[in-house]
Every structure is written in structure tokens, then in C-alpha cells.
Amino acid sequence: MKLAVEMAVMEVDGEISAVAVGGDSAKFHGMLRLNQSAADIIRMLADDTTFEQMHRTLCEAYTDSTPDEVAGLLSDFLAQLKKEGLLTE
């Protein structure tokens, strides 16, 4: 899976946002406000990846969460992206 549109990520005063880039931005007016883990997921989805690859990377980065917690958060965020039409399988 990967993002259906290319997205640029910005960080200002500790707040992270993602904005669609280029011709595809006509399909998505607006921006996503992200926490750090969501920003990590957006960055990973710039290239084709799998749930398992992202889960592994996030588990290594967020050691204070259990693998099940990470899987739950990852599933929820991917479902949101899919609902917004921002994810291709």
C-alpha cells in the first residue's frame, strides 16, 4: 500500500501537518494534522510498503507501546486514510 497522493510534511512549533502536493492536490483541499507516529506512517507510505513492515518499524521506534497497541493504532490510522481516499492498496 502507499499514499494515493504525494504529501509534504511540515513541523511548526511542535505541531506536524501534511499537505497534498501537485496536481493531485485538487482532489484534496486541506491538510492533515498529525502526531509523531502518524507522521512516521505518512512518511513510510510515500513508498510502497506493507502493514507488517510499518508495524515492525513503529514497534522499534515506540518501545513504550505493546505490539498489539501499535497494531491497533496503525489499523485505525490506515482506515482513516482509506476513508479520505488517501490510500491505495
Partner 1 sequence: MEFKIRLADVNIAVSSIYDDVYRLCRDYLTDGAPDFCVSPAPADIARERVKNMREAGTEGISPADYPDAYLETLAVYRRIAAEMLRYDTLLMHGAAVAVKDKAWIFTAPSGTGKTTHIRLWLGNIAGSYVVNGDKPLIRVGEDATVYGTPWAGKEGMQKNTGVKLCGIVFLERGAENRIGRTTLSQSLPVFIQQCYRPDDKSGMEKALALIGKLGSRIPLYRLQCNMLPEAAFTAFQTLHADTEQEGYE
Shortest distance, position 63 Cβ to partner 1, whole Å: 29
The smaller minimum CB distance to partner 1, of residues 1 and 8, is found at 8
Element (H, E) at 8: strand 7-12
Distance CA 70, CA 72 (A): 5
Binding flag, residue 64, partner 1 (CB under 8 A): no
Binding flag, residue 21, partner 1 (CB under 8 A): yes
Q: Is 13 buried (19+), middle (13-18) or exposed (0-12) by CB count in 10 A?
A: exposed
User: Is 39 strand, coil or helix?
Assistant: helix
Interface with partner 1 by CB under 8 A: which range of 13-21, 48-56, 58-66, 80-88?
13-21
Binding flag, residue 12, partner 1 (CB under 8 A): yes
Shortest distance, position 25 Cβ to partner 1, whole Å: 6
Binding flag, residue 11, partner 1 (CB under 8 A): yes
Cα–Cα distance list, 85 to 4, 17, 29, 44 (Å)? 7, 17, 12, 17
What are the residues binding partner 1 (CB under 8 A)?
6, 8-13, 15, 17, 19, 21-23, 25-26, 29-31
